[in-house]
Amino acid sequence: MKCDICPHYCELGSGEIGFCKARGEDGPIAYGKLAAIALDPIEKKPLYHFHPGSMILSVGSFGCNLRCPWCQNSHISMAGEGDVETHDVEPEALVALAEYHAKDGNIGVAFTYNEPLINFEYVLDTSERLQERGLKSILVTNGYANPEYFNRLLPYVDAMNIDLKGINEDFYEIIKGDPATVQKNIRAAAERCHVEVTCLLINGVNDAKKDIEMLTDFVASVSKDIPLHISRFIPHHYFKDRAPTRIETMKMFQEIAEKKLTHVHLGNV
């Protein structure tokens, strides 16, 4: 069968696993398998302009459909089934846990830590139940999914932080994706739910001034009111020998972005 969740279109035979490590011939193998769960401040997602001051039950599984050599969560995002300890949590059980933590200021569930879109069925089933119970569904995502699936989620998702990792195709070739798919999904999400965008700035990779200007222009073309988070790269995964992002480069990005965007935030400074 051909998996059509994302533009990789993996062709899978018996026993084969897709590029993302979370889908097989019969669909999702990560359904209900959680490798990480925590109660976080919503600002940590980062979502600064969606119910600030609240908490969110944050969960992740394993696998990802991109290959960022600097990934901060590589221990689960680059893992497959059996590579990391997981716990079986069905949608109804996760919703019940979210309700239990309402006493702690929790407003719902954030699908985060690894790429949630590759576990589409689980996210959809849980989000439908969250909506029925008056709770919020949040995605922290790379936005790299085919529109058919991405758009099916939108009626049940309240907020997203979408990681726009760069603006040109050469950059996305490094991580095995394409920017056009992500940009299209950012536009679609902004019409249906609250959206904030994150860009991790890496020395010598995506910090050219022209690329920063192009990325800012794109976000502004969707809406000048979309908050943009500029995150600082910290050496990790295959990029352990690289220096952290220069503070002056981040501030230059901020100055450029603030000319066209209402909310620009620096992270890890």
What pLDDT is recorded for position 57? 98
Segment 150-170, tens digit of pLDDT? 999 999 999 999 999 999 899
**Residue for token pair 């589409």:** 120
Query: CB atoms < 10 A from the CB of 173, how many?
Result: 10
What pLDDT is recorded for position 268? 74
What pLDDT is recorded for position 269? 67
Segment 211-231, tens digit of pLDDT? 999 999 999 999 999 999 999
The percent of residues above 70 in pLDDT, for the chain, comes to 100
What pLDDT is recorded for position 236? 87
* Whole-model pTM over 0.85: yes
What pLDDT is recorded for position 97? 98
What is the distance between the alpha carbons of residues 79 and 252, in angstroms, rounded to a whole number? Answer: 35
Q: What is the pLDDT along the chain (269 residues), one digit of tens a residue?
A: 899 999 999 999 999 999 999 999 989 999 999 999 999 999 999 999 999 999 999 999 999 999 999 999 999 999 999 999 999 999 999 999 999 999 999 999 999 999 999 999 999 999 999 999 999 999 999 999 999 999 999 999 999 999 999 998 999 999 999 999 999 999 999 999 999 999 999 988 999 999 999 999 999 999 999 999 999 999 988 898 889 999 999 999 999 999 999 999 998 76
CB 46 within 8 A of CB 267: yes
What is the distance between the alpha carbons of residues 208 and 216, in angstroms, rounded to a whole number? Answer: 12
CA distances from 257 to 50, 225, 251, 261 (A): 21, 12, 10, 6
CATH 3.20.20.80 applies to domain 31-267: no
